Structure 1
Amino acid sequence: MHFKSYVTAALYGLPALANAVPSPSHSQAASPSPSAAGSNVDHFKSYTIKAENITATLIPYGARLTSLLVPDRDGNVQDVVVGYDDPKEYLHDSETNRTFFGAVVGRYANRIKNGTFTIDAKDYHVPENENDGVDTLHGGFVGYDMRNWTVTSHSDSSITFTLFDQGFEGFPGDVITHATFSVSAEKTQFNPKGLPQLTSKLVALSLTEKTPIMLANHIYWNLNAFKESNVLKDTTLQLPLSQRFIGGDSILIPNGTIHDVETTYQGALDFTSPKLIGKDIEKTYDLCGAGCTGYDTCFLVDRPSTYASNSLVTALSASSSSTGISLDVATNQAALQIYTCSGQNGSIATKNSQAKRNKANGGDAGATHVNKYGCFVIETEDWIDGINNPEWGRVPYQVFGPDDGPAVNWATYQFGTI
């Protein structure tokens, strides 16, 4: 099947892709999302959730975050995520670039070597959609980013999308996933200052067979709101718990090795203390693939020994000197995939709404296109391709059956100013 046909089938023609069942926590059953023909269901409808000093907009297509508004140091509202003003552009993106802008990716995020894995001595094969058929990326040709999720709950400050995946793309068994996004600015144990915060909870249950499950949000961030052409000299990054990273080959497939950030690539991957994203980037040649300079790296989150392995910890801090916007990411996951947009080349325009805000705030329009290094992605997830590297001990955290508990990816994104 031609790639565009995959997209069209995923969006309109396959009942298994179109239907979802409601969350057990909601007593009222939601109507399944039918195919587009004869349907008034709009999978590109924008849903907005708000709290003090934070507004998020999402769409059912890919359970996708399309904008996130927070104040900068001057009190001006800025949109700090990459995407499109017109929600239907995400379908065109799927058919062409497939950037995964703002989407939930799965059933298995990141890469699977050779598109194969083994569970209980049985081999499985899923479509290899990257590197000319060498590996599977973010679930295959039609991952969760290209599926129509059903809105099963929506309030002023929270929304839940649900997807029922009936063994699509060769993955074994049926899985139901609930993706809940909420915003708040209340003082809590995890937010003692009451800062604006986005919370993401991705909960997936295997219903019939053992299967790999590893979900992630694929949000592209730009804390300078495109006031600068890129983030290299503007954005400071810290990964306080990441002293190790997973090694890969020339096409970013894990090769089974674990490296110390301090002693590899002349310390370019050492973000245990804050530093500009671009400070050591010239030392990373070949790190993000053959001939590529930049980061596309799975950093391990090594919790202190007194913490539970799935405890919520602050694993990343970032800030922009241009806007003063700061971001702290806490997660229950064991790794962070950090990608510094080395594959962007200026062919995708930034949002008109972002340019208008920059002009309204007394400046120029800023960057008009998403340039190389013009953003960065934070994927909170488990160890990349852990299902094919059992010596790492991550299989119990990546393979789930009907007798197991759910796979839970919990992350908070807390905003302030410097």
Structure 2
Amino acid sequence: MNKLCWLMAIVAIVGCTNKQKQAPEEAATLSGLKRSNFQTVVNGDSTDLYVLKNANGVEVCVTNYGGRIVSVMVPDKDGTMQDVVLGFDSIQDYINIPNNFGATIGRYGNRIAHGKITVAGVEYQLPQNNYGHTLHGGDEGFHTKVFKAAQPDSQTVVLSYLSPDGEAGFPGNLNVKVTMKLTDDNAIDIGYEAETDKETVVNLTNHSYFNLSGNPVNTILDHVLTINADSYTPIDSTFMTTGKIEKVEGTPMDFRTPTPVGERIDSDFEQLRFGKGYDHNWVLNTQGDVSQLAAAVYCPQTNIRLEVFTTEPGVQVYTGNFLDGTIKGKKGIIYNHRTAICLETQKYPDSPNKPKWPSPYLKPGEKYTSRCVYKFSIQN
């Protein structure tokens, strides 16, 4: 064999070897996410993507960074699967861009006036990150923490986090567990538990941004909203609850019957001016009964319906008023004004400073529990 033949043989062998070494291309989730894009290390803790699937082909993707729901794939009226939550394609965007997309919010969801709480006679100062108030536990709340994660089965992920005494100014070592289960009736059933070794305040919620059209280029102004509430808690110009509870009747806050979100959102009504749209807590009629409908949203484009059930006394409805086109999300889509709606089950905002409202206080030996169910269906 001459030198040219030898050379050709060697090239062929090397080429075959390289082909054998090439790993198969990573399969994406139904929503187009790649697990490798969510695997990194944050402050020594590893992040990952966890995929839940049920018997109907519904898929929910969760990352343990911030305990976040990243994507929710549900069928529309034609059986086409649609991703109905906003978020990012990679963990780096969640880390680098300030956001609450899909996050587990804690220690205290929503606002605390001037960042001050008094627990067992001691006043604590919390971070002031929103008009002089504490919002969602401060800029380094639970949405920035890496939860430990376990996936006991294909439809469940269990997230846990130990919030140390003094974190973000809150007292007590708080052990938190969040169980997210995708049920076979197309619901995301979220159970929260927490225990403390020192009296503290707790108010955990989920901050998913929903767009039931499946395409966040569209606004949610045509989404039809129902809230099972006769009253709401008005706010001042800094988004802080005033301490009053007022009736919705005769106001643009009345969603007791199904009403398009955009029908009255720009009405000349002080609360809508203060909130720049809807960004308010409604006082639910459900009395903590998780079997009673708390709220519902329906998209006439896709016929996808989202129902919310909870053990909590309130729900914050936020209509994406501060989305302004500066954030590019999944699939490169720019998130513009009012392209999502949030339904955050909760204690009323600033409950630590309003003693007549449902108490957010947790003592040693007690267990905080809360439940929120997001159930998807087709409305004909």
- TM-score between the two structures when normalised by the length of structure 1: 0.77
CA distance change for structure 1 residues 302 and 343 in 2, over 3 Å: closer, same or farther?
same
The aligned counterpart of 2:66 is: 62
Once the two structures are superposed, the pairs formed by residues 1-400 of structure 1 within 5 Å of their partners are: 42-43=46-47, 45-51=48-54, 52-93=56-97, 98-131=98-131, 134-167=132-165, 168-185=167-184, 195-206=185-196, 208-226=197-215, 229-232=218-221, 234-239=222-227, 241-263=228-250, 267-283=251-267, 285-287=269-271, 290=274, 293-303=276-286, 309=288, 311-352=290-331, 368-392=333-357, 394-395=358-359, 398-400=360-362
Give the match's secondary structure for 1:313. coil
The aligned counterpart of 1:31 is: none
1:271-305 Cα shifts (integer Å, max 9, x gaps): 00001000111216553564x531000001123xx
The aligned counterpart of 2:26 is: none
Distance 1:339 1:226 in 2: 18
Runs of 4+ in 1 over 6 A off after TM superposition: none
Distance 1:285 1:256 in 2: 19
Distance 1:176 1:121 in 2: 23
Checking the alignment, whether the CA contact within 8 Å between 2:107 and 2:142 is kept in structure 1 is: yes
CA distance change for structure 1 residues 42 and 120 in 2, over 3 Å: closer, same or farther?
closer
- Structure showing greater radius of gyration is 2
The aligned counterpart of 1:413 is: 374
Unaligned 5+ segments in structure 2 are: 1-39
- Structure 2 residue identity aligned to 1:180: T
- Could you tell me how far 1:129 is from its partner in structure 2? 1.4
Distance 2:377 2:172 in 1: 42
Distance 1:387 1:135 in 2: 13
- Structure 1 residue identity aligned to 2:256: T
- Structure 2 residue identity aligned to 1:391: K
- Could you tell me how far 1:141 is from its partner in structure 2? 2.6
CA distance change for structure 1 residues 155 and 289 in 2, over 3 Å: closer, same or farther?
farther
Distance 1:309 1:66 in 2: 27
CA distance change for structure 1 residues 103 and 49 in 2, over 3 Å: closer, same or farther?
same
Checking the alignment, whether the CA contact within 8 Å between 1:284 and 1:293 is kept in structure 2 is: no
CA distance change for structure 1 residues 136 and 74 in 2, over 3 Å: closer, same or farther?
same
Distance 1:81 1:165 in 2: 27
Checking the alignment, whether the CA contact within 8 Å between 1:199 and 1:411 is kept in structure 2 is: yes
- Structure 1 residue identity aligned to 2:235: G
The aligned counterpart of 1:188 is: none
- Could you tell me how far 1:36 is from its partner in structure 2? 5.1
Checking the alignment, whether the CA contact within 8 Å between 2:230 and 2:256 is kept in structure 1 is: yes
Checking the alignment, whether the CA contact within 8 Å between 1:288 and 1:297 is kept in structure 2 is: no
Checking the alignment, whether the CA contact within 8 Å between 1:129 and 1:135 is kept in structure 2 is: yes
- Could you tell me how far 1:312 is from its partner in structure 2? 3.9
- Structure 1 residue identity aligned to 2:225: L
Distance 1:350 1:322 in 2: 21
- Could you tell me how far 1:229 is from its partner in structure 2? 2.5
Checking the alignment, whether the CA contact within 8 Å between 2:216 and 2:335 is kept in structure 1 is: no
Q: How many residues align?
A: 338
Distance 2:322 2:42 in 1: 33
The aligned counterpart of 2:31 is: none
- Structure 1 residue identity aligned to 2:294: A
CA distance change for structure 1 residues 333 and 85 in 2, over 3 Å: closer, same or farther?
same
- Structure 1 residue identity aligned to 2:150: T
The aligned counterpart of 1:27 is: none
- Could you tell me how far 1:386 is from its partner in structure 2? 1.0
Give the match's secondary structure for 2:244. strand
- Could you tell me how far 1:88 is from its partner in structure 2? 2.0
- Structure 2 residue identity aligned to 1:300: V
Distance 1:323 1:35 in 2: 38
Give the match's secondary structure for 1:338. strand
Distance 1:124 1:227 in 2: 40
Distance 1:288 1:88 in 2: 34
- Could you tell me how far 1:119 is from its partner in structure 2? 2.2
1:316-338 Cα shifts (integer Å, max 9, x gaps): 11111111111111111100000
Distance 2:208 2:42 in 1: 27
